[in-house]
């Protein structure tokens, strides 16, 4: 180094400031679980490692002005990456992926939802970048350094050495971190948000190449697994054909979670209509039913229901693979004479629905253009549920029967805005406005569903239909655990609680059936396709799918969640740890747990985890490789 005035090169100062800021965000703004001191240490060092690796590149610029320019702009860009992930995390408790960057057309529809996620103090995330900008602009001559070759090599060597050390510690703490990377939080916790984004880019590029090189030779292995592990019995359920020839009216109930069913807030029932529906003799209410969505949320729930395939771990299938060939439920029902439609009073391009619905062979999409929407009958994301259902009736009445129609609601959507005249119950009182406002919004959705049933009965469509109501995904993320623990009267939300909060209600109402019940069968959204087809008396043995008929006697006995966690009849596995589903206790071989019992349980958990990983991987292969294009179902 020739310039003796600069005691600490600016790239090192920038790395230190940026690393410290990022660690503070990790530790106090992201809800990252730390189980031991090693995880704490790795979380502390990884932002400094990433910062040094990126900012040390500046030493390779020979001109001081270019050094300064690189540091200025890179500091702001990296600060924006942290800010964008923080805002995204506040809503989804997750981190941005490359595919989501291609979903920018959704941003225009988010509106006030994004504004509620931005906090005034977020401006401080750019304080260090502003300082670096000032120093590099005003004191360039004093702080710039002309680096000799050995100084450049030293910076590069140190960068790589620190990175290797970080990765070594991460692999020690979390073996197979990169080969079983379903959980993005584990990646960020162990290698940092910037290395995670690089890893995500590599994975995305690899996934995009899968379709190019796929030739159908991957199918026999997948078909064999499904035949041996999913299609467990040729025996039909007792309800096979119970709704043969009937219309199917499917309601995607936005953000309705199961914990509200049968519960109260401020002494008032939250969902009086759904509570009564659960006790109706014509209704099967599934109270042990899980959402399995990924980053695609509502669109992922649709994908699960129509295909009985898992959504992708990154991005939304509707966006990334909307042009694939599928063998979805609308296509199968079309062969049985059914007309299919979706009714959703939103922009038809949101989640690329207009494109994806063509791939799913849906006959017609009634989007916002089909509805009368004005300031009086809309709030938040658009048309309120009550006028939505009321205006939808005329379309259902005009459809040629039998039909399969899916209605997607909007009002009970984050940030759960509701006009005062639509609030039938008072908000909850906690430190979370999101949870507080959730209850009146759910109550409104419940009232809208009650009115919808009344409209169906008046229209004459009701008697010849089955009505399915399913919560599409959770509405309250882990960011509101303190308020949620207060509402549920718990000291804290445990990892087991967090998984169980992913339960959403499922109602299958068959008018005149008379044999309904509360059904505690373990199930998930991936089970809807085989269940509905079975109720309609449609055999579908040649298809490729990963769900089971919910009414079948023989089932897999576990539900895979998109992040690699699972729930079985006996265990819950989350973040690589196995818990007893009855007691919620961690199964290990410590002094409080019988060693043989723990070993047996962990062996059983590992066996299920292997199947879960296989299923998620095979489902990904079918999507990334667009493998359905190689199958002729007409000849199967």
Q: What are the residue numbers of the active site? A: 298
Give CA separation, 64 vs 151, 287, 610, in Å: 15, 65, 54
Residue that the structure tokens 């109706």 belong to = 280
Give CA separation, 151 vs 9, 158, 162, in Å: 11, 10, 16
**Residue 570: φ, ψ to 5°:** -120, -25
CA dist., res. 598 & res. 601, Å (int): 5
CA dist., res. 259 & res. 264, Å (int): 10
**Residue 559: φ, ψ to 5°:** -125, 125
CA dist., res. 548 & res. 557, Å (int): 10
Maximum Cα interatomic distance, the chain, rounded to a whole number of Å? 89
Give CA separation, 252 vs 76, 241, 351, in Å: 41, 23, 15
For the chain, the C-alpha Rg in angstroms (whole number) is: 27
10 Å CB burial of residue 77 (0-12, 13-18, 19+) is: exposed
CA atoms within 13 A on the CB side of 632: 2
Q: What strand order describes the sheet that includes 558-560?
A: 558-560, 566-568, 571-574, 577-580
Strands 571-574 and 577-580, bridge-based pairing: antiparallel
> In sequence order, what are the residues at sequence separation of 6 or more whose Cβ sits closer than 8 angstroms to the Cβ of residue 358?
none
Question: Token pair of 376, please?
Answer: 């009086």
CA dist., res. 34 & res. 31, Å (int): 9
- Collapsing DSSP to helix, strand or coil, 251 comes out as strand
H helix intervals, 407-494: 433-459, 481-487
**Residue 575: φ, ψ to 5°:** 55, 35
- Collapsing DSSP to helix, strand or coil, 253 comes out as strand
Which is it for the CA torsion 109, 113, 119, 120, positive or negative? Answer: positive
CA dist., res. 612 & res. 616, Å (int): 6
Give CA separation, 46 vs 324, 419, 518, in Å: 38, 46, 49
Question: Token pair of 310, please?
Answer: 């898992």
Give CA separation, 632 vs 327, 358, 363, 626, in Å: 10, 18, 21, 13
């Amino acid at each position: 180094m020739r310039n003796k005035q600069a005691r600490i090169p600016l790239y090192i100062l920038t790395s230190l400031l940026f690393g410290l800021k990022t660690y503070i965000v990790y530790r106090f703004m992201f809800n990252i679980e730390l189980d031991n001191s090693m995880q704490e240490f790795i979380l502390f060092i990884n932002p400094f490692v990433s910062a040094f690796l990126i900012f040390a590149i500046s030493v390779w610029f020979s001109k001081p002005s270019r050094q300064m320019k690189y540091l200025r702009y890179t500091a702001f860009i990296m600060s924006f990456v942290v800010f964008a992930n923080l805002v995204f995390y506040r809503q989804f408790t997750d981190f941005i992926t490359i595919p989501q960057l291609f979903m920018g057309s959704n941003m225009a529809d988010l509106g006030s939802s994004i504004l509620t996620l931005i906090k005034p103090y977020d401006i401080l995330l750019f304080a260090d970048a502003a300082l670096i900008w000032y120093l590099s602009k005003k004191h360039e001559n004093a702080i710039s350094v002309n680096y000799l070759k050995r100084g450049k090599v030293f910076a590069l060597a140190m960068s790589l050495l620190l990175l290797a050390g970080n990765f070594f510690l991460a692999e020690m703490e979390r073996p197979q971190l990169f080969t079983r990377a379903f959980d993005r939080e584990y990646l960020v916790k162990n290698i940092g948000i910037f290395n995670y984004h690089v890893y995500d880019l590599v994975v995305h590029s690899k996934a995009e190449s899968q379709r190019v090189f796929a030739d159908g030779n991957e199918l026999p292995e997948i078909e064999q697994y499904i035949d041996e592990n999913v299609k467990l019995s040729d025996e039909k359920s007792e309800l096979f054909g119970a709704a043969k020839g009937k219309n199917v009216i499917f309601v995607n109930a936005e953000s309705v979670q199961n914990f509200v069913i049968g519960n109260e807030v401020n002494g008032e029932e939250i969902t009086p209509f759904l509570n009564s529906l659960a006790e109706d003799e014509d209704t099967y209410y599934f109270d042990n039913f899980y959402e399995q969505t990924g980053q695609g949320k509502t669109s992922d729930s649709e994908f699960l229901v129509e295909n009985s395939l898992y959504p992708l771990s990154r991005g939304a299938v509707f966006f990334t693979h909307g042009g694939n060939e599928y063998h979805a439920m609308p296509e199968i029902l079309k062969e049985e004479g059914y007309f299919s439609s979706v009714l959703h009073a939103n922009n038809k391009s949101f989640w690329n629905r207009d494109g994806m619905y063509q791939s799913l062979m849906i006959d017609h999409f009634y989007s916002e253009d089909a509805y009368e929407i004005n300031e009086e009958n809309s709030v938040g994301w658009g048309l309120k549920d009550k006028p939505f259902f009321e205006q939808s009736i005329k379309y259902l009445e005009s459809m040629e029967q039998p039909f399969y129609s899916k209605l997607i609601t909007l009002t009970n959507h984050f940030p759960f805005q509701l006009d005062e005249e639509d609030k039938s119950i008072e908000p909850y009182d906690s430190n979370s406005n999101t949870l507080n406002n959730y209850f009146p919004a759910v109550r409104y959705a419940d009232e809208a569903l009650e009115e919808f049933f009344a409209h169906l009965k008046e229209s004459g469509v009701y008697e010849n239909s089955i009505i399915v109501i399913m919560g599409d995904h959770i509405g309250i993320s882990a960011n509101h655990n303190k308020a949620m623990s207060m509402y549920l009267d718990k000291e804290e939300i445990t990892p087991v609680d967090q998984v169980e909060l992913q339960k959403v209600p499922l109602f299958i109402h068959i008018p005149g059936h008379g044999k309904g019940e509360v059904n505690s069968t373990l199930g998930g959204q991936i089970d809807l396709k085989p269940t509905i087809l079975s109720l309609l008396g449609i055999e579908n043995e040649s298809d490729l799918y990963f769900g089971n008929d919910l009414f079948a006697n023989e089932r897999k006995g576990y539900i895979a969640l998109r992040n690699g966690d699972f729930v079985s009849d006996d265990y819950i596995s989350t973040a690589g740890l196995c818990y007893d589903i009855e007691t919620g206790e961690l199964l290990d071989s410590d002094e409080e747990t019988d060693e043989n019992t723990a070993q047996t349980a962990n062996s059983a958990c590992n066996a299920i985890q292997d199947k879960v990983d296989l299923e998620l991987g095979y489902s990904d292969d079918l999507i990334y490789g667009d493998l359905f294009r190689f199958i002729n179902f007409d000849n199967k």
